[in-house]
């Protein structure tokens, strides 16, 4: 059957043509081939299960009504309820949300979580909304998708442009629509006062450092005394820097939108954190040399932690990266082509699906605590995070050695393999 006969209206698949999703499918196809994935399973995993588009009318401060467009894509729920963040950004569209929902599916699977993958978003520049407008938008978006979410169905979380306050409004709206009964388990990333988890704030940065330590171990290196460079000094980068510093590493360079700072003897990270609070950026930190973000990526160091944006290491600079190991704190900081160059040059990459998994792992803990109505101490959260993230790393590392492939492909292979087993056990309805 020709492609045309199989798919009578090519426009009906336009939401599958986004670059993020197509990129994920490239790694998916490579990994599926390596593990001889059942072709029927692979065909099902290459498409999202449901894509919901909603109109969101919002009363603005000047009493006009603006109608925004929002999405929730539920990619796959074989392993458990759907889980994935909500993004408020002016570039959000359905193809992007499909790509992000697919990535959540593969991430949750490789991390061994009992969760499926989803993502949501609204096409809006949240920086142009007042607090009231943002609250109105969040509440109406929640209402529009409320039939499809819930503690046993689909559990959103914050992403770009949304935060704990947004999650609090989401939880309140959903709870009001369920007769007014509190439903904390419907979203994660909430403030601690209404069912959030201790340890969530630093979870991703701490996970990055647990993974970095293990990556060093398998490469016969050690954290104490290691030279580390970190791009991005926000939630992920600043906590990663703090935990690396506490473990005796020399954090020689960090950067943010204001530029980069370098000190070969190691920066005093608690003081850099204080400096950022006062000055809104790392720039001008006393006793440091200034460097550009580009220079930071190429600095002489043992481990490079890109924790800012996607696509930072590509074919233009991959050859000049000196770090022996690269831990992807951000989502997609190293492109597929750059990965090939780095691996050929003997570099070790811990891929984002594992390296920045600390956030979703502690989101999972938050959901579990909400369902049990029993809350854990921060030390318990940190210890359980360590157990899960290192188990995922070790599993993927084993796959890498067995199949003689790079860590990114191995992570995808391990992820598909778990999904494949579960899908074959559950079977196809109706058969």
Active site residues: 119
Query: Of 105, 331, 409, 417, which one interacts with ligand NAD (CB under 6 A)?
Result: 331
Token pair in block for residue 118: 């989803």
Query: Of 135, 162, 197, 356, which one interacts with ligand NAD (CB under 6 A)?
Result: 356
Q: Answer left, alpha or beta for residue 284, where phi above 0 means left and psi between -120 and 50 means alpha.
A: left
The reply to whether 77 sits near ligand NAD by the rule CB under 6 A is no
DSSP code string of 76-94: E-SSSSEEEEEEEETT--H
Q: Which is nearer to ligand NAD, 218 or 257 (CB)?
A: 257
Give the burial string for 273-296 (b: 16+ CB within 10 Å, else e).
bebbeeeebbbebeebeebebebb
Helices (H), 11-130: 19-34, 39-45, 94-110
Smallest separation, CB 205 to ligand NAD (Å): 8
By beta-carbon distance, which residue lies closest to ligand NAD?
A: 234
Helices (H), 116-234: 131-145, 164-177, 203-218
The reply to whether 263 sits near ligand NAD by the rule CB under 6 A is no
Query: Of 16, 129, 236, 416, which one interacts with ligand NAD (CB under 6 A)?
Result: 236
Smallest separation, CB 159 to ligand NAD (Å): 7
Q: Which is nearer to ligand NAD, 42 or 215 (CB)?
A: 215
Q: Which is nearer to ligand NAD, 42 or 92 (CB)?
A: 92
CA distances from 240 to 142, 269, 283 (A): 33, 10, 19
The reply to whether 267 sits near ligand NAD by the rule CB under 6 A is no
The reply to whether 308 sits near ligand NAD by the rule CB under 6 A is yes
Query: Of 234, 263, 266, 283, which one interacts with ligand NAD (CB under 6 A)?
Result: 234
The reply to whether 226 sits near ligand NAD by the rule CB under 6 A is no
The reply to whether 306 sits near ligand NAD by the rule CB under 6 A is no
The reply to whether 256 sits near ligand NAD by the rule CB under 6 A is yes
Measured at the CA of 134, the angle between CA 133 and CA 135, to 5 degrees, comes to 90
124, 48 Cβ separation under 8 angstroms: no
CA distances from 129 to 134, 135, 266 (A): 6, 9, 41
How far is the C-alpha of 301 from the C-alpha of 145, rounded, in Å? Answer: 47
The reply to whether 199 sits near ligand NAD by the rule CB under 6 A is no
Cis amide prior to 316 (ω within 30 degrees) = no
Residues 23-42 contacting ligand NAD, CB under 6 A: none
* Stretch near ligand NAD under the rule CB under 6 A, chosen from 93-101, 175-183, 307-315, 367-375: 307-315
How far is the C-alpha of 118 from the C-alpha of 98, rounded, in Å? Answer: 8
The reply to whether 231 sits near ligand NAD by the rule CB under 6 A is yes
The reply to whether 162 sits near ligand NAD by the rule CB under 6 A is no
The reply to whether 297 sits near ligand NAD by the rule CB under 6 A is no
Beta bridge partners of 259: 256
Q: Which is nearer to ligand NAD, 32 or 244 (CB)?
A: 244
* Stretch near ligand NAD under the rule CB under 6 A, chosen from 111-119, 216-224, 326-334, 409-417: 326-334
How far is the C-alpha of 253 from the C-alpha of 266, rounded, in Å? Answer: 8
* Stretch near ligand NAD under the rule CB under 6 A, chosen from 142-150, 304-312, 377-385, 423-431: 304-312
Q: Which is nearer to ligand NAD, 171 or 208 (CB)?
A: 208
Query: If residue 250 lies in a helix (H) or strand (E), which one and from where to where?
Result: strand 250-256
Q: Which is nearer to ligand NAD, 7 or 292 (CB)?
A: 292
308, 336 Cβ separation under 8 angstroms: no
| DSSP assigned state of 378 | H
- Taken in order 135, 139, 142, 144, is the CA torsion positive or negative? negative
The reply to whether 307 sits near ligand NAD by the rule CB under 6 A is yes
Query: Of 23, 235, 290, 336, which one interacts with ligand NAD (CB under 6 A)?
Result: 235
* Stretch near ligand NAD under the rule CB under 6 A, chosen from 129-137, 216-224, 252-260, 284-292: 252-260
Query: Of 241, 330, 385, 411, which one interacts with ligand NAD (CB under 6 A)?
Result: 330
Note the residues at the interface with ligand NAD (CB under 6 A): 204, 231-237, 255-257, 293, 307-309, 329-331, 356, 359
């Amino acid at each position: 059957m020709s492609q045309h006969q199989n798919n009578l209206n090519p426009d009906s698949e336009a939401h599958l043509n986004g670059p993020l999703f197509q990129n994920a499918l490239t790694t998916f196809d490579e990994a599926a081939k390596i593990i001889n994935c059942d072709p029927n399973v692979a065909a099902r995993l290459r498409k999202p299960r449901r894509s919901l588009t909603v109109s969101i009318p919002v009363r603005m401060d000047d009493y006009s009504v603006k109608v925004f467009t929002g999405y929730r894509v539920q990619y796959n729920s074989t392993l458990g309820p759907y889980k994935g963040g909500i993004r408020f950004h002016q570039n959000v569209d359905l193809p992007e949300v499909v790509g992000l929902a697919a990535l959540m599916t593969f991430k949750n699977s490789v991390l061994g979580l009992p969760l499926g993958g989803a993502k949501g978003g609204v096409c809006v520049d949240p920086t142009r909304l007042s607090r009231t407008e943002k609250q109105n938008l969040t509440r109406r978006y929640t209402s529009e998708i409320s039939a499809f979410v819930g503690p046993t169905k689909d559990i959103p979380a914050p992403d770009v442009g949304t935060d704990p306050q947004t999650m609090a409004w989401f939880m309140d709206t959903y709870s009001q629509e369920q007769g007014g009964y509190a439903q904390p388990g419907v979203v994660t990333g909430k403030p601690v006062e209404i069912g959030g988890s201790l340890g969530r704030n630093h979870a991703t940065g701490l996970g990055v450092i647990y993974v970095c330590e293990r990556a060093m171990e398998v490469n016969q290196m050690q954290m104490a005394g290691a030279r580390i460079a970190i791009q991005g000094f926000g939630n992920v980068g600043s906590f990663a820097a703090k935990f690396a510093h506490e473990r005796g590493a020399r954090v020689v360079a960090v950067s943010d939108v204001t530029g980069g700072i370098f000190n070969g003897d190691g920066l005093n990270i608690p003081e850099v954190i204080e400096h950022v609070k006062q000055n809104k950026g790392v720039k001008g930190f006393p006793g440091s040399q200034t460097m550009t973000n580009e220079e930071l990526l190429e600095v002489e160091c043992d481990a490079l932690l890109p924790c800012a944006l996607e696509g930072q290491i590509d074919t233009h600079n991959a050859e000049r990266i000196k770090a022996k190991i690269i831990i992807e704190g951000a989502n997609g900081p190293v492109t597929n082509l750059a990965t090939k160059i780095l691996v050929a040059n003997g570099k070790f990459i811990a891929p984002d699906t594992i390296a920045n998994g600390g956030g979703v792992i502690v989101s999972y803990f938050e959901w579990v605590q909400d369902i049990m109505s029993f809350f854990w101490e921060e030390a318990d959260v940190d210890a359980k995070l360590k157990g899960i993230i290192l188990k995922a790393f070790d599993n993927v590392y084993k796959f890498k050695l067995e199949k003689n492939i790079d860590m990114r492909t191995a992570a995808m292979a391990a992820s598909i393999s778990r999904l494949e087993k579960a899908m074959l056990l559950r079977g196809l309805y109706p058969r």
